[in-house]
């Protein structure tokens, strides 16, 4: 297992990070039961993974709860780097149980600590931007949590480049530590973070922890032969992410992978994991075997010359899917 610095912190995290969004979701859809989740987490540790990512909104606390039960049962909290997030709606009727206000951040952190059965969170992230809330309010709340010892580091997810820049300099103005990581969507079907966000993060030594490196499973090739029985878009695809154009690109990438003796999954994960400025990608898994393949792929070196051929199919900073749709204004709604 390869370990990399988590941005400018020096904390060592595994390549890849295990995403636990599926923990507790309907196993007949694309989730896993508590027992299955425990087995996947055990397999991850055996493979050397020490970095796990969740969020309060995943199953409205169910993912965090299962992760907390697992850590308690295995007595392994201190050997892990745990990341979670707040922002998402946690109650349909209470308008204050969501967003990036001080009120919600403090309450959400306390609730996450309880579900995770831990005294501290290694990396606490703001799940999405909210321009209607002043960024200084968000940063001050996170700083207070750091001073209380409840969180160690802070980050953001799916922010526009200008929003990360604003947060960076507001934190400096306030004398706060501010964000040290960004968690954007990044895959071979959406490379837009290469334009501004990734250069900013490389310049200021932010950790970059991409989500959906397989574009919801499309870059595994599972949708090339029609709709599979299971998968992120098997039962519902409201944003029409599996379409004629994306399928054409995926077929071209699959052909390229075969040319170099690789699977499409291996090519796609190795590409993200080896891109300049990327810390580690977040992967999900529904089985121990799938997890093992993904870990091996993330730790695979790309063959010489393949990057240039990938760029011919998917030009740098281009996109075929709207994953990186950050909140650019008070009325904008980011994809999730």
Residues taking part in catalysis? 58
Comparing C-alpha atoms, which of 243, 244, 241, 271 is closest to residue 256?
Answer: 271
**Residues forming a β-bridge with 85:** 125
Residue in the block written with tokens 């519902």: 236
Name residues whose C-beta falls within 8 Å of residue 10's C-beta, 6 or more positions apart in sequence.
Answer: none
Euclidean distance between CA atoms 328 and 306, whole angstroms: 34
> Backbone dihedral region of 86: left (phi > 0), alpha (psi from -120 to 50 degrees) or beta?
beta
**Phi, psi dihedral angles at 203 (to 5 degrees):** -65, -40
Using the CB atoms, write b or e for 239-259: b if 16+ within 10 Å: eebbeeebeebbeebbebbee
């Amino acid at each position: 297992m390869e370990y990399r610095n988590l941005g400018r912190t020096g904390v060592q995290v595994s390549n890849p990070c295990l995403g636990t969004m599926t923990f507790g979701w309907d196993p007949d859809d694309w989730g896993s039961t508590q027992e299955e989740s425990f087995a996947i987490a055990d397999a991850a540790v055996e493979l050397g993974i020490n970095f796990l990512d969740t969020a309060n909104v995943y199953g409205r606390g169910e993912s965090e709860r299962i992760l907390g039960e697992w850590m308690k049962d295995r007595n392994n909290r201190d050997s892990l780097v745990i990341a979670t997030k707040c922002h998402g709606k946690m109650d349909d009727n209470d308008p204050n149980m969501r967003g990036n206000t001080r009120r919600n951040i403090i309450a959400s952190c306390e609730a996450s600590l309880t579900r995770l059965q831990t005294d501290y969170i290694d990396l606490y992230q703001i799940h999405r931007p909210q321009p209607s809330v002043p960024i200084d309010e968000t940063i001050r709340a996170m700083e207070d949590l750091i001073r209380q010892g409840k969180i160690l580091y802070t980050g953001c997810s799916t922010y526009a480049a200008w929003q990360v820049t604003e947060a960076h300099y507001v934190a400096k103005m306030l004398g706060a530590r501010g964000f040290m990581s960004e968690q954007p969507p990044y895959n071979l079907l959406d490379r837009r973070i290469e334009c501004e966000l990734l250069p900013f993060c490389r310049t200021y030594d932010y950790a970059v922890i991409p989500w959906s490196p397989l574009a919801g499973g499309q870059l595994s090739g599972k949708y090339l032969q029609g709709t599979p029985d299971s998968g992120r878009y098997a039962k519902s695809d409201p944003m029409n992410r599996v379409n004629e154009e994306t399928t054409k690109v995926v077929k071209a990438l699959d052909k390229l992978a075969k040319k170099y003796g690789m699977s499409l999954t291996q090519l796609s994960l190795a590409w993200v994991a080896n891109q300049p400025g990327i810390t580690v990608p977040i992967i999900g898994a529904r089985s121990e075997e799938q997890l093992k393949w993904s870990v091996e792929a993330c730790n695979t070196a790309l063959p010489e010359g393949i990057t240039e051929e990938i760029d011919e199919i998917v030009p740098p900073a281009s996109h075929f899917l709207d994953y990186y749709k950050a909140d650019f204004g008070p009325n904008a709604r980011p994809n999730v």
